[in-house]
């Protein structure tokens, strides 16, 4: 569909659009599209048709989609998801800076106040004039500007915000913050703040993949900086593709809402159990049987459910990633411990089994380290089957209203997933191909950051495109929220 430009609408229509968009958590353009579709389908009563006609006439005027939409200074925006929130947006110098204009607009549509700091490089890509028009505020560019009546100083700038957002976050801005540099307004504000920081990286795929950037990303993650993206795809430079595209403005808005806990909470009051990570089955005190699960997908699902308001109990096997924020995490090692922890958490509204539980354990793990004895050859381990935690809960007298399993397969994905659905008493199975041929590389699904899944249920198979594990988690959490709406527990 052609893009829609909302401009010069009369105040009454604009107000209606703003209100409806905020209520439905849509952009104004999306709201307009929904209304137009509804009008065309005859779903809107005659009383509103003239209003829609007027809207249509305005929307089809010939303004370019890139034309900035200035909110009149001092005008109070209607309450939205981000109503009353103050965002300090730091725009770095990259080709993706143009997307920051749309980001400002979308944040303001949702009721946020947006103050902007631009680096010198950012001003090579977009002007302070358009940024100022969109944010309806002064744009801050200099560290020391004694002549500037608007100069509030970097400390106040960084403190008078609920959240700092860096979009686009260039390799340079990431490096500066990771190493504590403060030699311009953007980097100084970032290091002076006591508020959460969210970065939306954007750079050439080679720059993103460079060991220096990887190091900085890891350091910033450890320092508690939030990240959204980058995504994989075509670069602005011709013939360049890969990971490094800035997340889309609406994805950044969703991450901001999540950080500020401003999004909708359809799972409030729901208790959900999630299992994640591998299990370690001891052979002796120093050796164990394990698998390649990193826990990334399970932890991301736990975090996504918590963002939707659920009371999440995560039962995690041994992983090297952090416990997700806002989630009660129980650490276990062996499958039997995981089963016990899960059963103790019942009853619950839903249980999501993401853990890669070891199917077998050594029947008698030795109390002492098994030693090599000359002439005796290797020890023989007798394996016994571990409890199937999902199947146990799927057929439990206290079975949660919604039970979701995963199926990690290297062959016959759908046939195996369908068999697991029946055998384990799950409502649906999230099936993923963990073979080398999955095309998800270089690290693959297990241990990597991306996933491609199919949702297998009695109703059929739904195929989802390749996404980051965080995106899969967000979509799955939304699906679970939808299913719980109609589940009588
Ligand atoms: N699962 C579980 N307890 C087990 C084994 C698996 O709870 N002992 C759960 C997993 O968390 C996942 C689902 O069952 O949600 C399927 O796991 P998977 O390892 O793919 O299947 P298995 O039943 O182990 O079958 P197989 O290894 O033969 O494919």
Mean of the pLDDT values across residues 363-392? 93
Tens of pLDDT, residues 414-468: 899 999 999 999 999 999 887 766 555 555 666 677 888 999 999 999 998 888 8
3-state class (DSSP) for residue 173: helix
3-state class (DSSP) for residue 318: coil
pLDDT score at 196: 92
pLDDT higher than 80, residue 147: no
C-alpha–C-alpha distance, residues 56 and 4, integer Å: 10
C-alpha–C-alpha distance, residues 34 and 28, integer Å: 10
Domain boundaries for CATH 3.40.50.1950 within the chain: 86-259
pLDDT score at 307: 85
Tens of pLDDT, residues 237-285: 657 778 898 988 888 988 898 788 766 789 999 999 999 999 999 999 9
pLDDT score at 148: 61
pLDDT confidence tier of residue 1, bands split at 50, 70 and 90? very low
Question: Of 3.20.20.70, 3.40.50.720, 3.20.20.80, 3.40.50.1950, which CATH number belongs to 86-259?
Answer: 3.40.50.1950
Tens of pLDDT, residues 31-43: 777 777 766 665 5
pLDDT score at 254: 81
Q: Whose CA is nearest to atom 4 of ligand 1?
A: 388
pTM above 0.85, yes or no: no
- Cβ 386 under 6 angstroms from ligand 1: yes
pLDDT higher than 50, residue 144: yes
Q: How far away, in angstroms, is 116 Cα from ligand 1 center?
A: 49
Tens of pLDDT, residues 191-204: 999 889 999 999 99
DSSP letter for each residue of 91-130: EPSSTTHHHHHHHHHHHHHTT-EEEEEE-TTHHHHS-HHH
- CB under 8 A, 24+ apart: contacts of 477-483: 477/267, 477/301, 477/304, 477/305, 477/307, 477/308, 478/308, 479/455, 480/267, 480/272, 480/305, 480/350, 480/352, 480/402, 480/404, 481/266, 481/267, 481/308, 483/402, 483/427
Which class for 415: exposed (0-12), middle (13-18), buried (19 or more C-beta within 10 A)?
A: exposed
- The answer to whether residue 25 is catalytic is no
Mean of the pLDDT values across residues 356-384? 92
Q: E strand or H helix at 166, and its extent? A: strand 163-169
Mean of the pLDDT values across residues 469-485? 90
Helices (H) and strands (E) in the chain, counts: 17, 22
- Cβ 353 under 6 angstroms from ligand 1: yes
Mean of the pLDDT values across residues 61-80? 34
Compute the half-sphere exposure of residue 174: CA atoms within 13 Å on the CB side of its CA: 29
In the chain, pLDDT over 70 holds for what percent of residues?
Answer: 80
User: Among candidates 405, 427, 442, 426, which has minimal Cα distance to 482?
Assistant: 427
Question: Left if phi > 0, otherwise alpha if psi is -120 to 50, otherwise beta: which for 285?
Answer: alpha
Nearest-atom index, ligand 1, CA of 385: 8
Mean pLDDT of the chain: 84
Domain boundaries for CATH 3.40.50.10300 within the chain: 271-362+382-485
Mutating to test ligand 1, I would choose from 359, 361, 445 the residue with most ligand atoms within 8 A of its C-beta, which is: 359
- Catalytic residue chosen out of the listed positions 24, 204, 216, 291: 291
User: Among candidates 426, 266, 457, which has minimal Cα distance to 354?
Assistant: 426
**Do the Cβ atoms of 89 and 115 come closer than 8 Å?**
yes
pLDDT score at 59: 46
Task: Look up the CATH number of domain 271-362+382-485.
Answer: 3.40.50.10300
Cis preceding-peptide flag for 486 (omega within 30 of 0) = no
């Amino acid at each position: 569909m052609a893009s829609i430009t909302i401009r010069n609408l009369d105040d009454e229509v604009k107000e209606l659009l703003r209100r409806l968009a905020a209520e439905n958590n849509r952009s104004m353009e999306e709201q307009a599209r929904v209304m137009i579709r509804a009008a065309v389908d005859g779903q809107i009563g005659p009383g509103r048709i003239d209003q829609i006609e007027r809207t249509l006439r305005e929307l089809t005027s010939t303004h370019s989609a890139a034309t900035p939409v200035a909110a009149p200074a001092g005008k109070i925006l209607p309450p939205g998801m981000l109503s009353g929130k103050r965002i300090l947006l730091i725009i770095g110098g990259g080709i993706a800076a143009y997307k920051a204009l749309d980001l400002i607009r979308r944040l303001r549509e949702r009721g946020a106040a947006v103050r902007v700091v631009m680096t010198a490089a950012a001003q090579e890509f977009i002007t302070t004039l358009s940024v100022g028009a969109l944010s309806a505020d002064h744009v801050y560019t200099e560290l020391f500007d004694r002549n500037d009546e608007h100069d509030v100083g970097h400390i106040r700038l960084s403190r008078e915000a609920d959240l700092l957002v860096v979009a686009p976050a260039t390799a340079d801005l990431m490096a500066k913050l990771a190493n504590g540099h403060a030699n311009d307004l953007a980097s100084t504000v970032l290091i002076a703040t006591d508020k959460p920081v969210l970065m939306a990286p954007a750079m050439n795929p080679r720059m993103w993949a460079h060991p220096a950037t990887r190091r900085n990303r890891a350091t910033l993650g450890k320092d508690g900086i939030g990240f959204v993206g980058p995504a994989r795809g075509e670069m602005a430079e011709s013939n360049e593709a890969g990971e490094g595209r800035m997340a889309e403005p609406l994805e950044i808005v969703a991450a901001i809402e999540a950080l500020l806990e401003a999004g909708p909470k359809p799972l409030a009051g729901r208790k959900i159990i999630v299992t994640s990570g591998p299990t370690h089955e001891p052979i002796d005190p120093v050796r164990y049987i394990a698998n390649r699960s990193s826990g990334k997908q399970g932890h991301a699902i736990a975090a996504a459910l918590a963002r939707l308001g659920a009371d999440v109990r995560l039962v995690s096997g041994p992983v090297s990633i952090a416990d997700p924020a806002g989630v009660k995490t129980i650490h276990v090692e062996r499958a039997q411990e995981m089963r016990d922890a899960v059963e103790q958490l019942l009853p619950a509204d839903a249980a999501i089994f993401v853990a890669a539980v070891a199917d077998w354990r050594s029947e008698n793990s030795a109390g002492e380290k098994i030693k090599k004895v000359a002439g005796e050859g290797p020890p023989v381990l007798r394996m016994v089957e571990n409890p199937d935690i999902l199947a146990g809960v799927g057929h439990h007298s206290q079975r949660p209203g919604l039970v979701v399993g995963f199926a990690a397969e290297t062959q016959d994905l759908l046939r195996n997933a369908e068999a697991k659905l029946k055998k384990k008493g799950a409502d649906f199975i999230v099936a993923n191909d963990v073979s080398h041929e999955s095309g998800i590389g270089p690290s693959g699904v297990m241990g990597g950051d991306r996933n491609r899944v199919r949702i297998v249920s009695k109703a059929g198979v739904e195929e989802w495109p390749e996404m980051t594990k965080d995106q899969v988690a967000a979509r799955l959490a939304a699906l679970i929220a939808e299913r719980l709406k109609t589940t009588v527990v």
